[in-house]
Structure formats: C-alpha cells, structure tokens
Amino acid sequence: MSDSTWRNPLYLWDVEGAEEAIPANPHRDPQEVWTKTRQSKTPMLPVGRLRYYYKWPGHGGALWSRLRYWPTRRRVLEIRGEYNPKTLRREKTIVDKRPIWWALGLFAFMLGPLVMPGAYQNTLLAAGATFSIYAAINLCWMLILGTAGIYSLASYAVVGAAAFGVSWLSINLGLPWWLLPFAGAVIGLVFGVIIAIPAIRLDGFYYALLTIGLNELCRVYTLQSKQFGSSTGGLYGADTYIPQDWSSFDQSLLAYYACFVVLLLALALYRIVDGRRLGRILKMAPEKREAFAEATGVDYRRARVWVFVISSVGLGFIGGFYAAHYRGVSFSIFGFDTVLLGLAMLVIGGIGRAEGAVVGTAIVIFLDKVMISTGPLRLVLIGAIMLGVVLFLKGGLFGVKAQFRSWRDKKKSERRSMRSEKGGEMLPEEATETKNKDLLYWRRYDKMQRDFLKTLVTQEIIEEHRKQPLGQHSEPLERLLLYFRRAPQGDKYAITVVEPFKAYRIVAMSGQRGVAPRIVEDKIYASQNEAYHGVFMRRIQDLLES
Amino acid sequence: MTDIGFIATNAIVLACIYGTLAIGLSITWSSVGLINLAYGFIFALSGYGAWLAAQYVSTNGVLVLCAGVLTGAVGGVLVCALAFIPIHDKPNFTVRGLIATLAISLIGTQTLLWAFGPRSKNLPEIFGFWKINLGGVVLTSDKIGNVAVSIMVVTAVLLWMRSSRRGLEIRAMMMNPHAAAIVGIGVRKTGFYVMSITGGLAGLAAVLLSQTYYISPFGGLAPMIKGVSIALCGGLGSVRGAVIAAMVLGLNEALTSRLLGGQYVLITQFALIIVILLIRPRGIAGILDRAREA
Amino acid sequence: MTAASAAPRPEKREILKVQGLSAGYGPMRVIHDLDLTVYSGERVGLVGLNGHGKSTLFYAIAGLTGWQRGSIRLNGAEVGGTRSQGPGRYTHLVVRRGLALIPQGDEIFHGLTVEEHLDSGAFTPRAWKERKPRKDRVLAIFPPLVKLLKTPVGRLSGGERRMVSIGRGLMADASLFLVDEPSLGLAPKIGKSVMEALMSVELGDSAMVIAEQNVALLEGRVERIIGMHVGKLKGEASVAMGFQTRREI
C-alpha cells in the first residue's frame, strides 16, 4: 500500500483542505507505452519493396555485354553493372538467371545416360526420347497457346497428320528416313494453313471447340480408312534412322540423342518466335484486346497466320521425325486423351513459358511411364494434379513465385488496414496527402500519450479530484490535468456562470473568434468546484472513448 | 423412298438427342460462363446410373429415365462444385474452367473405366416394342419415344426459363453476372441450378441415345463433340440457334450419308460448321439477334 | 466529425451505420476508416471528385470491393466484417436485407426486355410477389418507358438505359437506395430530369444516398450533403447552410 499512497507536500504548511496521505495509483512508467508501441504493435511495414539480388563484385559487365547470340543482338546474360552509391565499389547484378538454369538443365539431360542405373537403362533412355519428342511438340504448341493466346487443341492432330502422311509415303513410295521430317513439314504447312483460316475469324472458345472437333475428325477418318491401317491399329513400317544392325543399347542411345537434338531445335524455334518481333506483336494482341492492338497499328491477323504456319511447319517436322523414330504411328495420337495429357503437361508447367512446357512434360511423362503398371489410376492421378494446378495456381508451377508475391502483397495491405485504429496514427496513403508532415509524428505521439493516460484513470484519482479540483494533486492526476489543459481551443470545455456562486454550466468553445461557445448539457452545477469536476469527468470520458 | 424416310427419321431422332446436349452446353456456357468439356463424362456417368437402376432396381422405363436424369444432375452438381465454385471469381476463369472440366473428364472417365471395366453395357428398351407404319415409313417405338421425350423436356425447360423467376435469374446471369449480383442473384446458387439442369439434360440424352448405342466409359466423347458442334454452329449461348443448328446438321448428316457415304459425314459436317462460322463468327445466333453483340 | 453535425434525430431509425470501414482493391486502399450513418426518410448527397472513393464506398456496402474491413450495419444487421476475397460473393444476401444499388454506368442485361429488366429488379422473394404495383409506380416516375416495355434493353439510348437502370433499382423492396452518379454521361437536360425523377420518389421509411460530382444538381433538394476526399468523409452540411460554405468542403 505504501507505493500507492500519495503524500501531500503542502500538508506540512497547513494548506486548507490538504490531507496528509491519500490513496493513489501505483507508479506507471510512460516509457512502457513507448516501448510497447515501438516494439510490436506498429510493425514498420515497407510501403513498396525492393527485390534482393546477389551482387557480384568487380568489373566485367563489359565482357558479358560484348558476348551476344549470333543471329540476334541479344546478350547471353542480362547483367546490370553499376556503382554502389554507398561503398563506391563497382557491382554487377544478374537480372535474369534463367539462361543459367537452362544451360545446367540441358547439360544434365545430355549427361543423363552416363549415370543411369544399368537395370533401368533401356526404359529410361526410351522415356527420355519420348520426353524430348513430346517436349518439342509442346513447345511448338505453346507458341500458339501461350504466345499467340489462341486456344488451339489441334496441335497433336497436325503431328498425327504429318506422321500418318509420311508413313504412308515411306511405305508406298519408299521415301528414305532423312526426307521424312521435311515431307512432314510440308504436310504440316498445308494443315497449318487450313487450321489458321478459321483462327482469324473465330473467338477463342469457338476455336477451341472447333479444333477438338477437327481432332476427332482426324481420328475417325483414319480409323475408318483402310489405307491408314484401320485393321492394324496404326500405320507401321516406315523407314527409320536407327541402324538395325546396332546393339539395342546403341540404338536407344542414338534415339535419345537424336530426340534431344529435336528438342534443342524446338527450343531454338520457340526462342526465335517468342522472343522476337513476331512474339511481341502476338503478345500485344491477346484475346479480347485485338481492337486496341489494331488501333495501335499491329497487324495481328497476319501475325497469327504466321505463327500458325511456323509452328505447324515445326509440328509437321516433328511428326515426320516421330514416324521415323517409332517406324510408324498409331491412332492414339488423335485420341482425346492424348490432347488431354498434352494440355496437362502445359498447364502443370505453366502456360506461356518454355520452361513450363518442358518441365510439365517431364513431370507428366515421368508419372505416365513410371506408374504404367497401375493402369487407369495414373491417368486419374495426372488429372487430379492438373485439376489442383488449375484450381489453385494462376500460372502453373512456374507461376508460383509471382502468385506468392501477389498473395503476400495482398496480405500486407490487409494487415495495414487492420492497423487503422480509431484516433490512431496516419496511414501511408493519407500521410502522402497531408501537407504538414509534423502532424504525422504529432498524431503518433498523441496516440501513445493517450494510451498511457488511459491506464492512469482509476477510482482513486476521480475521488481525489472530486474532493479537491484545484491545488496540488498526486502525480498521475497532475499528468491527466496537464494533458487536458493542453487541448486545442476547438471543442474545449469551459464553465460559464449562470448565477454567481449559485449556478454554473458546462459549455464547449467553438474554437473560432467571434463564435459563441455552445452549451453541452442542461445540468446546472451548484458550485464552482462541482462544475470543475463535471468538466473533468467529461474529459475523462472523452479520453476513454477515443 | 423408304430408304430416304429411314434416313430422315434417323436424322431427326439424332438431331433431337444431340440438340438436347447442345442446348445443355449452350445454357451452361452462357449462364455460368463455363465451357463444360466434362459433358461427355456426365453423359457416360448418367448412362451408368441408368444401367445400375435397370440392373438392381427395376427395368421400368420411367424409372430408368429418371435414374439417368438424376445421375446426370448429380454429375452436373459435381462439376459445378469442382470447376465453377472455387475459381469463378478468380482471374482467367474461362480458360481455367475449360481446363478444369477437361481434367474432371479425364479423371471421371478413367474412374468409370476402373469401376465398370471397358465392356459396354446396354439399357432395356424403355419405350417398349411397337411400331407404326406411316405412309411407307416405319416408325419404331424408340424413335417416336426419343423424339417425343426430348422435344417435350427441352420445350418444358425453355418455357420454364422464359417465364419463371428462376428462369429470369438464369437468363440475367447469362447476360451480366455483375449486375445480377447487384439485383440480388446469388451467383453460386444459380450455378448449382444451372449445372444440375444441364446435367439432367445430358442424362436424358444419355438414356435416349443408349436405346441405339451402348454405354461405355468413353462413349460420351462422340455425343459431346456432336453437341459441341451444334452449339458452336448455333452460337454459344443461343437456344434458338442451337435448335436451328441441330436441324441443319441433322439434315446434312442424312444427305451426306445418302449421297456420299457414311464415312464422309464428319468431314462435310465440319466443312459446314467452318463455313458457317467463317461467315458468322458467332454462329447462327449471330444472324438471329444483334442485341447480344452490343 | 464534430458533435454538432452528428446530432441524431431520435424519431428516425438508423438505416445504415458504417463504422471504421476500410476497403480497396488488392494493394490499393481507397476507403480509409470511414464512419457514416444514414437515417430513415432522408436523402443524402455524397459529393467528391473522381477517384475519391464514392463508388467504392457503395461497392463496399454491397460487398463488391476486392477486400474490406469494418462494420456495416444495414437495418441493424451486420453485413460488413472482414473479407479479403470473393467480391460479389455475398452481395445477394446484402440485397436481400434491403439494399438497392444503382451502379454507375450501364450495368444492364442487354438481352432482356425493359419489362423483364424491371422484374429482375424485384428479384428478392418479398418484392417479387408485389412486382406489378411496383412496376406501375416506376413507370409513373419514368413515363417514357411505358412504350418501350417489350424492347430489348440493348437497343435503348443512353438516357433510356439509365432510366431502366434506375427503375430497376427502384423496383426493389429496399430500405436503402444507393444511387451512383445518376447524371454521369448524360446530356445536362436529361441528367436534370433523371435527378428530378430521383427526387420525386417517395422514400417513406427508407433512405437514399446519391453520389454526384455536380453539387448544383443536389443543392436544396437533399437533407444533407457529405463531402468525400481521398477516401474519407470531409465535413457535412445541412441544407440550411449557404451554398458558399459547401463549396469549401
């Protein structure tokens, strides 16, 4: 009890009404509120954000910027060189690290056969070859689906048509294997022009449905015609590039690397189309924004026909290679499930980027080949992954990073809005609009001060003030009264005399010169001290409510 | 003469069934904005539902039909819950919805294959065995039943959509989902209505078509493609267009198989669709009413 | 808010009570910690420049913003709360509690006829039962629509569309009408007549908030005018005060 008692120093001088000791609050340190506010309650949230890049030391940006891809003027690595303004040292930053990952990945794929375990070697080599072919097809498809934003589902139909065509040519006319991809490219060209024509006029989804129909048309047509081997389940017997007198391991190895070369060619095609003028034009005119693109002078129709023709030639080439690789082709390439699996590869990886197509293909081929013993269940699994990716991810696996960033930003803005307490400090948006920047700090300080003063309001304090509104007070009461007295003139309470020594009433100042105070309440106080206490109570109430 | 009559009646029957499918697809697209490529799966699923009912409960025609329609509705609700509810207000909904329905179709058909095996099943004749000879053209019971039931149900659905409060709800959501929310239409609830109705239509078509064809896990694909082509040709979202397109394509099918031979049906059909779409990118509906394009 | 301006009218019911509302889209925050109370039977004007959050305030009340936080009580029932996704997911429930939002621009159903359009405004089960007398009432306010009842809305002119849009809002059995920029994009004369029509609606127990950039259109016709500036309410003026004062808001 000793620490919550206040001894009146004026008692010794016999001041009127002074008591020796009265109960008061235990001491509270104002520093506590300050520390608490600074520590946890107000996280110093950054308004914008900078991305962190590793800073490589030294010069050498010049060397990197001299090295360029041959036909283009593009640098090998996008490197930014600058002087650190603080240390004044030269620094360089790799802005885009994707080429490094690509090089490492492709190099690892090339070295893959060296580390394959002996027992699975044949399976893995075959799976690798299949992966390369499908990845190449998907890259060409991605040019239409991602770069041009046209929902064409007929890419496998183009591959299949080319493969059937060249198989038939090879069987009946004896075309050698090295001509097959080129013959396939010609067939692809014809097919590409045919499917490009509706793409100029049709909206995305009409076109998607139409191409599904075309796919089915191809399947039914080949299934019914005798020339294309409706009885054997496919057309087999085409010339192949794999020498038959080699050992089976050498054959698989050759197939693996041949397919890898096709994959590299497809990557180069993707890079050339997507990264250069045609790709830019196509990305400027996505679905539903064609009118705007046209108004800015982009001939998107021609660009779309071009991308169709180019990718169809590529698909036809791959189709020819496919026939030369598998020595023929089966009807399943036109199947709805093939299209679905292909789409699953693209969707899982992320539409619109080369790494999405390749990695998605790798995942799906892996699931498909490894779990082949489980039968239909593996397709269910692939479908479930596809569904999950579509439902939860905006841009496939490679969009996770961007999606996470935007989610984090959203959460951050939510947290910021949660921080807006009534009478609290200013929010960042508001702060930028305020002319007087001192006000920001004043508000923050005032808030903390009020938080502290709220803790001082107790029954003892009120009782002390009721007994003696004027004169020397205990420390907490003095703090409260000092704060109240310092309030600005507007809406400040005052006492007006209705009848001297008999009736007093509380008013509030207008804060403006020449405008009379307004009456706050009807209550009449009998003495000045009672009125003082009434004002005090009103202020306490305002403080606690703020 | 009887040959032409036979082909013509066949074409009408098929047009009615495929028209039912196309109208279902069309309503789905226009009111919830989803291209339901899992429609083939719903079709196959309701076929199996009807088959189970016929196998274990009763072979009464009405009951089998109801079982098919109900399973279809359940399938529609399932697709709605998986592909519409989680992503309908997220960016890129149309594309993601399309891919999600494709994924559902992949999962669903493989599950059906796994559960029922690849052997196809057939349903009992729900309309009995009787025939009428109408001026040299023999009309069997299943043909008359198919045409009558599909036209009746589709007309009922259309009338209901035109006059009732729920119909107004669905049509309002077709045109402007944002404004629909403002007048107090719950988008998710309406989505369930729409998908169960269209699923029911698919179930109806499945039972009717299985009078002629067998039920198999992948059997839904071909009817879906037919339905899609009719919906495309008629213009997505237009019921009138779908009806006209069903008649045009049915006629085309009958004529082609008579004049050129059965294997050219798909080719002429797609040539016709491409020509129509090249002239009118929004199908026949684009010719019918201009207000939608505004 | 000063104590004087917020003096409650005890005989009036609180239709809408917004407390501490913040709302925005993604990382952008448009409404800052806003308080607003609307009493029954009053017309309130909400003025402010473009991009200062008038429409967003309305959208936040209807639950159509990207995210929002804070209490919104409509007829005493809490319809606000914290929400960080799914704009429009619960709007129909808010509407069922008695909100009629007349949005900015043409949020109309192109293919429906004017009549169906008006019916759709009375979509809530309660309003649907008595949609005929309501329709007559709306047609009395907008006589030009009588001739157009069977016309698809997609064919109407801008002014007629706005009438249909407002008429649809007035069809609802609502206790709070939020009208967003009724004169936007219309010729001044038509804008004035649309405003006349809004003023001629008998509110009864309900209330109406009209967002408008043109103060002159509202002057002398509404009970209160509230200014809005960067997502906050800035002062309030009753009609008794001179126009000059209001210009300074």
Q: Residue A151 in contact with residue A208, Cβ under 8 Å?
A: yes
Provide the residue range defining the domain that includes A399: 335-417
Q: Is B229–A209 a contact, with Cβ atoms under 8 angstroms apart?
A: yes
Range of lowest pLDDT (A274-283, A306-315, B276-285, C172-181): B276-285
Tell me the average pLDDT of chain B: 81
Lowest mean pLDDT segment, chosen from A516-520, C170-174, C229-233? C229-233
Q: What is the mean pLDDT of residues A370-398?
A: 84
- Are A462 and A403 within one domain? no
Q: Answer yes or no: is A194 within a domain.
A: yes
Which strand (E) or helix (H) includes residue A343? helix A336-349
Residue A424 confidence (pLDDT): 53
Per-residue pLDDT of B134-145, as tens digits, reads 666 677 777 788
Closest Cα in chain C, distance from residue A406 (Å): 9
Of A315, A332, A349, the last residue of a domain is A332
* Interface residue A205 vs chain B (CB under 8 A): yes
- Work out whether strand C67-74 and strand C14-25 pair parallel, antiparallel, or are unpaired: antiparallel
pLDDT (0 to 100) of residue A44 = 55
Q: Quick check: is A521 in a domain? A: yes
Chain A contacts in chain B segment 98-157 (CB below 8 A): 98-100, 102-107, 110-111, 113-114
Average pLDDT over residues A525-538: 93
pLDDT digits 0-9 by tens, A257-293: 999 999 999 999 998 898 888 888 888 888 777 788 8
Nearest chain C alpha carbon to A434: C230
Domain check: are A408 and A478 in the same one? no
Q: Answer whether residue A146 shows pLDDT above 80.
A: yes
Q: Which of A206, A208, A379 sits opposite B106 (nearest CB)?
A: A379
Residues 6+ apart with CB under 8 A from A48: none
Annotated domain spans of chain C: 41-52+88-247
From the list A396, A300, A302, A301, the residue with the least C-alpha distance to A354 is A396
Residue B291 pLDDT greater than 60, yes or no: no
A197 contacts chain B (CB < 8 A): yes
Do A368 and A304 sit in the same domain of this protein? no
The CA-to-CA distance between both ends of chain C, in Å, stands at: 13
Look at residue A420 in the predicted model and tell me its pLDDT.
52
> Tell me: the pLDDT tens digits for B191-224?
888 889 889 988 888 888 887 777 888 888 888 8
- Amino acid identity for residue B126 in this structure: I
Q: Does any CB of chain C come closer than 8 Å to the CB of residue A417?
A: yes
Lowest-confidence segment of A50-54, A517-521, B54-58, C44-48 by average pLDDT = A50-54
For every residue of A429-478, DSSP letters joined together read: HHHHH-S-THHHHHHHHHHHHHHHHHHH--HHHHHHHHH-SSS---HHHH
Are A212 and B104 within 8 A, CB to CB? Answer: no
Neighbours of B78 (CB within 10 A): 19
Determine whether the interchain pair C109/B186 forms a contact, defined as Cβ–Cβ distance below 8 Å: no
Residue A347 covered by a domain:
yes
Beta-carbon separation of C111 and B292 below 8 A: yes
Range of the domain at B34: 2-293
From C142's Cα to the closest Cα of chain B, the distance in A is 19
Number of structural domains (chain A) is 3
Mean pLDDT of chain A: 84
Same domain, A157 and A302: yes
- Could you tell me the CA-to-CA distances from B205 to B104, B113, B161, B210, C92 in Å, in that order? 20, 21, 19, 8, 34
pLDDT of residue C91: 84
Q: Is A545 on the interface with C (CB under 8 A)?
A: no
- From residue B16, alpha-carbon distances to B120, C40, C48 in Å are 23, 56, 58
| C interface test, pick of A414, A489, A506, A518 with most C CB neighbours within 10 Å | A414
Q: Tell me: the pLDDT tens digits for A289-331?
A: 778 888 888 888 888 888 989 999 999 999 999 999 988 888 8
Same domain, A311 and A174: yes
Q: Quick check: A398 pLDDT over 50?
A: yes
Chain B: give the shortest CA distance to residue A193, in Å. 14
Check CB contact under 8 Å for B291 and C109: no
pLDDT at B283 over 60: yes
Does residue A78 lie in a domain region? no
Q: How confident is the model at residue C7 (pLDDT cuts 50, 70, 90)?
A: very low
Residues A517/A523, Cβ–Cβ less than 8 Å: no
CATH of C41-52+88-247, one of 3.40.1180.10, 3.40.50.300, 1.10.1740.10, 3.60.130.10: 3.40.50.300
- B98 vs A208: CB contact, 8 Å cut-off? yes
DSSP state of A38: I
Q: Per-residue pLDDT for C241 more than 50? A: no
For the ranges A25-29, B256-260, C96-100, which has the lowest average pLDDT? B256-260
Q: Do A414 and C84 touch (CB under 8 A)?
A: yes
- Is ipTM over 0.95? no
User: Does A422 sit within 8 Å of C32, measured CB to CB?
Assistant: no
Give the pLDDT confidence score for residue A440 in this predicted structure. Answer: 82
Q: In 3D, which of C216, C214, C215, C234 has the Cα closest to residue C226?
A: C234
> Do residues A342 and A268 both lie within one domain?
no
The pLDDT assigned to A482 comes to: 94
Report the domain count for chain B.
Answer: 1
- pLDDT on residue C240: 40
- Asked whether residue C3 carries a pLDDT value surpassing 60, the answer given is no
- pLDDT at position A427 is 62
State how beta strands B137-140 and C43-48 pair: unpaired
In-domain check, residue A72: no
Establish if B165 touches chain C: CB-CB under 8 angstroms.
yes
A/B interface, count of CB pairs below 8 Å? 119
Query: Rounded to whole angstroms, how far apart are CA atoms B23 and B202?
Result: 9
Cα–Cα distance, C101 to C57 (Å, whole number):
11
Closest partner residue to C32 (CB to CB) among A406, A409, A429 is A429
Judgement on whether residues A139 and A220 belong to the same structural domain of the protein: yes
CA distances from A174 to A169, A180, A188, A239, A245 (A): 7, 10, 20, 8, 20
CA atoms within a 13 Å half-sphere pointing along the CA-CB vector of C84: 13
| DSSP track, A392-431 | H-SS-GGGHHHHHHHHHHHHHHHHHHHT--TT----HHHH
Residue among B40, B49, B55 nearest B71 (CA): B49
Residue B182 in this model has a pLDDT that exceeds 90: no
Facing residue for C111 by CB, picked from B175, B184, B188: B175
- Cα C106 to the center of its chain, rounded Å: 14
Which residues 256-275 of B are in CB contact (within 8 Å) with A? 263, 266-267, 270, 273-274
